[in-house]
Structures are given as C-alpha cells and as structure tokens.
Structure 1
Amino acid sequence: MTVSLSCTPVLGIDVGATKIAAGVVDPSTGDIRFLTRIPTRRHVTPDEIVSDISDVVTQVLTDARRDANGPEDMPQTAGIAVPELVDRQGQIRSTWNFALPGLAGIIRERTGVSVRLESDVRAAAFAEARFGSGQSCDSFAYFSLGSGISYTLCLKGRPYKGTHGFAIHFASSALAVPTQDRGRLSVAIPEDFASGLGMERLWAARGGESLKEGGHTLETLASAGNTLARSVIEDAADMTGRLIAQTINMLDPEKIVLGGGLGCSEGLYRQKLEEHVRANIWERSCADIPILIAGLGEQSGIIGAALSALAAD
C-alpha cells in the first residue's frame, strides 16, 4: 500500500547520537535540499543540544528562503526524528541518549512551523518503505544498528507503532540464560555489548587501547590481524544476529532491512551478522530471506522525519 502524501516541502530534522542533520524534503520524491549537518555535542547540557538543533533548523530555513520564489516554496511543517521513545501523541518519553527539553515548542516558536516528533528508527523505516529498500513490500523488519540498537516492523508501507508507540525494542531488555555449568543464570542486556557503543566498551573491558575513530577502528584492526578486535566484532555480530533471527522467527517478515552505521557497514561485522541470522532461523525454508542494506543511507532519518510529520496519526 502506498501512503499518499503532499508534494509541499517539509523540513526534516534527524537528531542522532553522533550528528544533527536537517534539510528541506520533497515528500513526493524524497529529494533533500539545503542539507546541513553538525556533530552532536553529547556532553553539553540538554538545553545546549536543543539550541544546536534550533540553530541547524534556522540555517536550513535561511538558505531555503534565499532560493524561494514565494511562500509556497517554504516548509510549513517540520518533522523531527529523535533517538528516544516517542509515544503516539508525538511526545518524547525517554532520555536514553540525552534529554531534549521543550524541543518541539522551541522549534515551533523560533520558526513558526508546526512540529511533529517521531522515534528515529520509525522515521528511517518509513523512508525506506517509501523510497528505499522496503519499497513494494507488504512486510519488512527494519533494524537500526549503530551507537544503539532498535527495530521497527513495517506493514503495508507504514511503521507499526504498537499500542502506546513503543514497539521499537529488541535488544534493550535484560536476558537470562544458564551458565555453562548450569549452576546459575547469567543476566545481560544485549545492547550493552552488541551496539556500536557497547562494542567500544567491550573492547576496553578486554584490555584494548583507546579507539581513534570509535567502533570503525575495530574493522580496520581486525582486517590487519588483530585477534582482540576480531573477537569483539564476532561476539557482537553473534549476539545481534541471533536476536534478529528470533525476530524473524516471531514475525515471519518478507525481508530484512539493515540501517545505521553498523547495519550499513561492509566487512567482518556484516559477514558474521548475516551468518548468525541465517543459521538461527528456525524454519529452514525461510533461511534465504533477503537481508538488504538501507537504500537511503544516512538520509533516511531526514526523509522519514518529514514523511512522519505529514502522515501523523
């Protein structure tokens, strides 16, 4: 099912753990103009992060205004994708990465446009459903594998939100399994070890030195023969692959779409991830399910934020 959306330009803003990006989106094509990015300053105060977001939005609108032929060329609506829980009413309900106090109201007051908030994984999945690797697909599961880990089920072109809007978890709850001697249970949260930030912590806990480019350095080290880097990557891919396989066992989707920095990577992580996914699908006739990289890359969040603003419940 194709969701009918306006061709009026919409402001899309993607707030991530590592970057803040925004642009003017044509919702009929997914094209982005006046794209602007800055690093996310995670270690400043929440109010300063909100101010940074507001500054990026103002810059995009200033650039758009210079190029506009009239008011009809300017966005009147903005969608903001955030790396947090967002309920069905568009309210942020968590502070996993950072608080964003008064974000919607501040952007609305500063720009005069209406504002809608959405969880970043649902926004990205919506963009993939309309313009990316999830096109012409009745059901697919989108997994955002990056600094954190989350997922969205898409049904007939729309992300499934759940009763309250929180249907994005698959690696954030503690799991318990018996130790090898069956003497006790070992309890762990998969995301704490298998996400990009979790891999960095695992590397450090196993004695690794500081990583110059974060988790990206692990692939370089592994390809150069570093056995510690290889073990961290393989363990993270093993854990995540088994969880994705369990999701496939539960939902039986038509395809899998991987987004985020880890999800879109090529190398040892991707190789091992896919091996563990396919090896742990219960019904072997489903083991050849398509596993695709997100077609829109890092732009999916901006595009999906804009689409979500127009298609809000």
Structure 2
Amino acid sequence: MPEIRQPCAIGLDVGGTKIAAGLVLKETGQVLQRRTIPTRPERGGAVLLDEVIALTTELLAEANQHCLEVLGIGIGLAELVDRQGHITSAHTIDWQRLPVQSRLADLAPTVIEADVRAAALAEAQFGAGRDYRLFTYVTVGTGISSCLVQDGHPYAGARGNALVIGSSPLTTRCHNCGSILAPVLEDIAAGPALVAQYNHRVSTDQRLTRGEEVMTVLDQGDPLAATVIDQAGDALGVSVGWLVNVLDPEAVVVGGGLGLAGGRYWNRFVASTRQHIWADNSRSLPIIPAALGSNAGLIGAAAGVWLS
C-alpha cells in the first residue's frame, strides 16, 4: 500500500530583524519544525539568500523524515512585491536584482509575496479574520503596513503597492511659521521610533536599544515612556481611523510584535482610532488582535503556495 504523505508547504517570513521558517500543514495551518535566524541585512542580499536556501534545504529534509509532501515554498518579504511576484524595492532586504525565485524554484515551486499580505492571508484562512468577509489587517513592528482583505483574498492594488500606510508622509504647512512638515507614521508609532523618541530625551547611560525595553520601563512607571507610548498609540489611531473611513471594513485585525503588545499602547490606539472614525455606525467596529502571533507571516507565505 503506498505511503500517504500529508501535504504541506515551507513558509518563510523574511523581515528586517529575523527570518522565521517552518513546515505548514495545508489542512490546519499548523506549523511544524519552526526555525528562526537573525536577518542582519547589512551583510548583503546574496549572503542572506544563501542562508535562506540552506534553511529551506534543511526543512525539505525534515519534511521527508516526517512523511510530508512539500507542495512548494512561500516567501513573505518585508519589501514591495508586485502582482506577478517580482520584488520591486530594496529598502531593507536587497533582493530586487537577485534571482530569488529561480534559485528557490530549483528546490520546489516558489511563490513570493509582501509580508503584510502573507500575514493578512493567514489571518483570513486560519485566524482572527475568518469570520469577516471584508477586513483591514494592520501590522505594527519594526515597520507599519496594512492590507485590505475581501472574501479571503488580500488586495494588492494595481502594482502591488497597496500597503505603505506607515511610510507615506503626511505633508502639511505649519500655520505659525510656514515650515513644511512631513510626518511619517513609522517615525512616531513603530518599534524603532519608540526607542528613538525615548533616547532623544534621556542621558546616554539611560538609552534603550529595543522597543520591548520601552514597554519594560513603562511597566516600571517611567513617565517619559508613558508619553512616548501615548503619542505612538494616538498617531497609529489617526491612520487606522482614516483607513476605516476610506475602506469601510467590517473589522480591523492588528498584528506584529508591537501591535500585539497590549496594555497602554493598545488601549490608546483603539481609543484614538474610534475618535477618528467619522461615521457613527462604523465607530464601534471590532478592533481585534491577530490570532496567529509571530507565525502569521510564515503561515500566510505557505498558504500562498496552495492558493496560487
């Protein structure tokens, strides 16, 4: 009798800080053999690609040992990716001019997607978005991105660029001095911004290095941390409220390390979002944490394989 091999895909979540990878079961979205390695993108795209190929090869061997059938490889990348799966930016991961898809396709069929759309797909298939036909997914961590999901499908836009809410300057002119101001959401509300704003106001020996440390000193009663967190949550709420006004989703699902931090940041963000929603019958829409945590990106990357 032939051996029955359970179908799965290899999911890779390639971010600016770390790469998470694992074998994802098609039926349930369960992650097996999870691996995490630091990205260190300053070493160059070619070095990083070699490491991803080595990691993928290791997971292929694990799949064979566990009688799993690998249907393909999915990558969720912290860059712009067009509708055909071509990488169109190199802001963090310098893969734009490298043969990423073809080299990985030597191992198994490969699909490349923007990381926020991969995570949004995971939440639509297996997580907090399952009960909604139309929802907006927002991820908040090292950066901030968003994605509209309709009928289980993340919306990419005409060129794959419908995700850059955190990087778009909101240019305006100061009424008092006439200066041109161009605030960017990520410079206020993302993880590195919390650290930068905190460190700008303290002595050298009090400086922090990670967003998690801002949360730690907040829990210890640090008033400066509270101010920084409040400003960040307020700013995020302004932008997400604007998304609700423009897109009219049934719900907002929020993921990412900082987006799932809870506490003061979350409460301030939710209050600000509702304050900036214009329509009365939209103001009470569900604003909920993503269900899949740090696995969302790799699960969604894998799901892209069997949905492609």
Q: Percent identity?
A: 34
**Aligned counterpart, 1:161:** 156
The 8 Å contact of residues 71 and 306 in structure 2, kept in 1 or not, is answered as no
Q: CA deviation at 1:182?
A: 6.2
Residue of 274, 288, 294 corresponding to 2:284: 288
Equivalent residues in 2 for 1:234-245 (5 A)? 234-245=230-241
Equivalent residue pairs, number:
299
Q: Could you tell me how far apart the structure 1 residues matched to 2:160 and 2:306 are? A: 17
- Deviations along 1:43-85, whole A, 9 cap, x unmatched? 32221111221122122112222222xxxx3313111110010
TM-superposed deviation, 1:187: 1.8
**TM-score normalized with structure 2 length:** 0.92
1:171 Cα shift? Answer: 2.2
Question: Which of 86, 93, 111 is the equivalent residue of 1:116?
Answer: 111
Relative to the length of structure 1, the TM-score reads 0.91
Structure 2 CA distance for aligned equivalents of residues 169 and 41 of structure 1: 23
**What letter corresponds to residue 51 of structure 1 in structure 2?**
D
Q: Give per-residue Cα distances to partners, 1:199-223, cap 9 Å, x unaligned.
A: 22222333363325x0011111122
The reply to whether residue 258 of structure 1 matches residue 254 of structure 2 is yes
Q: Is the 8 A contact 1:27 1:303 kept in 2?
A: no
Decide which of 298, 301, 308 is 1:305's aligned counterpart: 301
Alignment of 1:194 with 2:193, yes or no, is no
- Structure 1: gaps spanning 5 or more residues: 1-6
What letter is aligned with 1:61? L
Aligned to 1:176: 171
DSSP-derived class of the 1:43 partner: helix
Which consecutive unaligned segments of at least 5 residues does structure 2 have? 1-5
Which one-letter code corresponds to 1:254 in the other structure?
E
For 1:160 and 1:226, the matched residues in 2 are separated by: 41
Contact 1:12–1:23 (Cα < 8 Å) also in 2 = yes
- The match for 1:218 among 181, 194, 214 is 214
Whole-Å separation in 2 of the counterparts to 1:275 and 1:199: 19
Match of 2:57 in 1: 58
Change in 2 beyond 3 A, CA 1:267/1:180? farther
Q: In 2, Cα distance between the equivalents of 1:238 and 1:16?
A: 25
- Structure 2 distance, partners of 1:207, 1:42, is 29
Specify the alignment match of 1:130 in structure 2.
125
Tell me which amino acid in the other structure corresponds to 2:201.
R
Whole-angstrom CA distance in 2 between matches of 1:123 and 1:15? 11
Q: Distance in 2 between matches of 1:13 and 1:171?
A: 23
2:105 maps to 1:94: no
Distance in 2 of aligned mates of 1:245 and 1:149: 15
Work out whether residues 71 and 305 of structure 2, in 8 Å CA contact, stay in contact via their aligned partners in 1: no
